[in-house]
Structure 1
Amino acid sequence: MLRVHFTSEDLTRVRVAPGPDFLWEITNSVQTLQRRDGAREFDAWRRWARPRLSGGRTLLAGLLPPRGYSPDFLTPTSGDRASLQAALDVLLSTPHPRLRTDLSQLATSLRLPGWVRSLAAGDTDALRRLGTALHTYQLEALAPYWARIRAHVDADRAVRLCSLLDRGTEGLLGGLGPQFRWRHPVLEVAYPVDQQLHLRGRGLVLQPSFFCWPTPTTLADGELPPVLVYPIHHAAGWAGPAPDAPPTEGSGPLGPLLGHTRAGVLRATLTGCSTVEAARLLQVTHPAVSQHVNVLRAAGLITTVRTAGRSLHVATAEGRALLAAEGRAVPPPTERGAAGLHR
């Protein structure tokens, strides 16, 4: 059991992460790939991923056993993590004492490959090797599905934010799922070991994770900025054959109908976004986003709310229904001829 202890100040500093975290999805998926549970959720993806992965998978598996402790430094909680490269830059700048501490703890329960000794010493080549393995794994195992992963996380975030608006922070915490139980001022979480996390006014980031399975997870070191990573619901057939190349943000069934960029703008409004945020996400110009926003608003698919000098574009019920229909449009693998943790 994990027990998260809140103060009154902590209850005002709970937030839901803005989207999937690259490094949490990598680490959680490497662990999930090594297990056999969660067959309904992950077996189709496992069958697809295993034959296409290069040697980086073995390297990462040596640091991320399917169960038990895994190093905190692999999922940093500070710095810019808005892109995979930014997240890797933060990870690869981990102070040497943190590397030694985390890898020494891992060595108490796991026989480590020889190169990890160099990594623990902060060796530049070992760090570069780790960064390459993480980047390659993301491209091979996750990038083709990233739009679907993001859509699932965005949908969960929308549910959590509605819960927060309707029932407040304690309602949000109490409604995270059957693995959670709120007993003021403690959140009890199903966990494979006993652990106490005292927030002490630092607040808590709730990080929905597509590959977190089967229980929530957190960092082992309670002195690090607190984060609680939890599993989300998976749509049936989500792993229906992925494209061979990483998708663009606007790809998918709605792309040919609306245009790929316009479909991407509509997806971005599912949880609300500004013109600047949508332009950054889709890597297009602000005027281009504004034009697509005007068309979507005229069609009744989004609305724009202006508050405190900021314009926020939000999908309407009709827009959300269209996005939900797109999610259901991906058939299960069998219909498309597909071959048959804690911290």
Structure 2
Amino acid sequence: MLRIHFTPDDMARVKVARGPDFLWEITNSVQTLQRTDGERVFGAWRRWVRPRLPQGRRLLSPLLPPYGYSPDFLTPTSGDRPTLQAAIDTLLGTPRPRLRTELTRLATSTRLPRWTRALAEGDADTLARLGDALHAYQAQVLRPHWRHVRADVEADRARRLQSLMDGGTEGLLAGLGPDTRWCPPVLEVTYPVDQHLYLAGRGLVLQPSFFCWPAPTTLADGNLPPVLVHPIHHTAGWASRSVGPTPVAGRDPLGRLLGRTRAELLRAARVGCTTVEAARMLQVTHPAVSQHMNVLRAAGLITTVRTAGRAFHLATAEGRALLTAEDRGAGNRPGDTTRM
């Protein structure tokens, strides 16, 4: 059992992550790939992935066994990491003593290959190889599915924020799922080992994760910035649809109606997004996003709320109806989800 101890200050410092975390999704998916449970959710993805695994995966699997301890440095919790490269740069900057301590701990439960000795000493070439392996894994294994990963994680975030608005922080914590129980001032989480996490005024980041399975997880070192990574609901059949052919111009009805960029922005606004998030997702400029959002807003398909200098865009009932019609035309059942 994991027991997370809150103080009154911590109750005011609970945050829900804005979207998927690159390194948590990589590490969780490497572990999930090595397991056999969760067939209904991950079976099709596992069968698609295994023939396509990059060679660099051999560097990742020994560090991320399917059960038990894995090093915290693989999922850094400090610094701004808006891109995979920024996240990997943070990882590669891990101090040598921490590398040695965490890999020594891993070696007590897992037989490690020889090259991990160089990693424990902070060898620059070995660290560079690890960074390359993370890039290759993201590109070949996760990127084809990233649209679904992001959409389902952001949908989960929207549900969490609704719980927060309806029931405050206690409502948010009480609604995290069947593997958690809120017993004020302690959040109890189903966990393979007994662990106590004392927040001590630092607050807690709730990180929804697409590949987290089967129960929430956290960092082993309680002195690191606190985070609780938890499973989400999944769109049914996500794996088969993720790797389907990309709509060709002229065969994407919503794209033909609105234009490809506006159609993608409306899809992003289904669960809500800021201008910055939309620009990053579509790899276009902030002014371009603002211009397209103006058109969608004038058509009554989105609404925009501005707070603290940021614009948050959300699809209106009319916009969601258009997206629902698109889902039906693609043979998807709107709102169809599978619980992990």
> TM-score normalised to the size of structure 1?
0.90
Q: Are the equivalent residues in 2 in contact too, given 1:14–1:204 (CA < 8 A)?
A: yes
Match of 1:12 in 2: 12
Q: 1:36-47 to 2 correspondence within 5 Å?
A: 36-47=36-47
Residue in 1 that maps onto 2:71:
71
| Contact 1:237/1:330 (<8 A) preserved | no
Q: What is the match of residue 24 of structure 1?
A: 24
Per-residue CA deviation, residues 278-326 of structure 1 (Å, 9 max, x unaligned), is 3343222333222211221122221122345543322223333444565
Aligned residue identity for 2:117: R
2:5, 2:197 within 8 Å by CA — same for their partners in 1?
A: yes
How much has 1:66 moved relative to structure 2? 0.4
Distance 1:255 1:144 in 2: 20
Confirm or deny: 8 A CA contact 1:269 1:313 kept in the other structure.
yes
Distance in 1 separating the partners of 2:329 and 2:153: 18
* 1:132-172: CA deviation from partner (whole Å, max 9, x where unpaired): 11110111110000001000001000000000001000000
Amino acid at match of 1:199: L
Instruction: Judge conservation of contact 1:156–1:208 (CA < 8 Å) in 2.
Output: yes
User: What is the rounded CA distance, in whole Å, between the counterparts of 1:79 and 1:204 in structure 2?
Assistant: 16
**Aligned AA for 1:35?**
R
Partner of 1:109: 109
Structure 1 unaligned blocks of 5 or more: 333-343
Contact 2:44 2:239 in 1 (8 A): yes
Q: 1:271 to 1:119 in 2, by over 3 A?
A: same
3-state DSSP class of the match of 2:36? Answer: coil
* Cα separation, partners in 2 of 1:328 and 1:215, compared to 1, 3 Å: farther
Contact 1:271–1:314 (Cα < 8 Å) also in 2: yes
Deviations 1:57-79 (A, max 9, x none): 22211110000000000000011
Map 1:1-343 → 2, pairs under 5 A: 1-243=1-243, 254-308=254-308, 310-323=310-323
CA distance in 2, matches of 1:98, 1:253: 52
Shift of 1:241: 4.8
When residues 132 and 311 of structure 1 are mapped into structure 2, their CA distance, relative to the original with a 3 A threshold, is: closer
Question: Residue 3 of structure 2: SS of its match in structure 1?
Answer: strand
Match of 2:336 in 1: none
Distance of 1:74 and 1:16 partners within structure 2:
21
Aligned residues: 329
For 1:142, the aligned partner's letter is L
State the Cα deviation string for residues 21-73 of structure 1 (Å, max 9, x = none).
00000000000000100000000000000001122122211110000000000
SS in 2 for 1:48: helix
Whether the 8 Å CA contact 1:253–1:329 is kept in 2: the answer is: no
Farther off after superposition, 318-327 or 113-122: 318-327
SS at match of 1:62: helix
8 Å CA contact 2:76, 2:90 repeated in 1: yes
CA RMSD of aligned residues (A): 2.3
State the shift of 1:330 in Å.
6.0
Residue in structure 2 matched with residue 336 of structure 1 by the alignment: none
Identity value in percent: 72
Query: Partner of 2:233: helix, strand, or coil?
Result: coil
Q: Could you tell me how far apart the structure 2 residues matched to 1:146 and 1:139 are? A: 10
Aligned residues of 2:203 and 2:226 also touching (Cα < 8 A) = yes
**Alignment deviations for residues 235-270 of structure 1 (CA, whole Å, 9 cap, x no partner):** 2100015448999xxx98744543221123223334
Measure the CA separation in 2 of the matches of 1:200 and 1:234: 33
Rate the CA distance shift 1:26–1:331 in 2: closer, same or farther, 3 A. farther
CA contact (8 A) 1:237 1:331 kept: no
Amino acid at match of 2:230: Y
Deviations for 1:208-242, whole angstroms, at most 9, x for unmatched residues? 00000001100000000000000001121000154
Per the alignment, residue 339 of structure 1 pairs with none
The 3-state SS of whatever aligns with 2:238 is: coil
CA contact (8 A) 1:158 1:270 kept: no
Specify the code of the residue in structure 1 equivalent to 2:156: D
Partners of 1:169 and 1:50 lie apart in 2 by 41
Query: Any idea what the Cα deviations from partners look like across 1:82-135, whole Å, max 9, x if unmatched?
Result: 111111111111111110111000000011000000000000011011111111
Give TM-score scaled by structure 2 length.
Answer: 0.90
CA contact (8 A) 1:213 1:231 kept: yes
CA gap 1:244/1:313 in 2 versus in 1, 3 angstroms: closer
